[in-house]
Amino acid sequence: MIGSHDTEKELLMNYSDRTDRTTSTMDLQELAERAIKIHDLYEELNRRDRGRGWTREEFMLGFVGDIGDLAKLVMAQEGAREMPGGREALEHELADCLWSVLILAHHYHVNLGAAFTRTMDELDQSISERLSASEPVQPGLVPMMKTT
């Protein structure tokens, strides 16, 4: 069980040990392509069984449900609640959430690689500027990141 007592090094070791046993280290494009393939299968199934596919809003609501499930599993991993499934369920929900992000990006024509890089660059600059400031920000007051 991963808890707050684990060090970053232990977490990275656990992660790397775990990924060494997996069969895939897909890049973002490959993940998106696989997500879209599954999306298309769901679309076909929903049209056959329900006569229509999901709307963008329904995909977002499904994502919100997955985030709720993920929150419960994180609480269970931290010992704050009981939840069946353990680590395997946590991994499943993280993958579900990633799938939803990839599909929403697909529906809204967002280049996630470019958006992620741009956002991390902005955060890097903003945080670095704050760290190099001569006076710390008053506790409890966190300046908002500038949005464009």
Per-residue pLDDT band for 134 (boundaries 50, 70, 90) equals: confident
Domain count, the chain: 1
87 in any annotated domain:
yes
23 in any annotated domain:
no
Residues of the domain holding 65: 55-123
In CATH, what number is assigned to the domain containing residue 66? 1.10.287.1080
- pTM for the structure as a whole: 0.75
32 in any annotated domain:
no
Least confident of 11-20, 79-88, 123-132: 11-20
Residue 40 has pLDDT above 70, yes or no: yes
pLDDT single digits (tens) 86-102: 999 999 999 999 999 99
Per-residue pLDDT band for 27 (boundaries 50, 70, 90) equals: very high
- The vertex-63 CA angle with 38 and 71, nearest 5°, equals 125
CB-based burial, 80-113: b 16+ in 10 Å, e otherwise: eeeeeeeeebbeebeebeebbbbbbbbeeeeebe
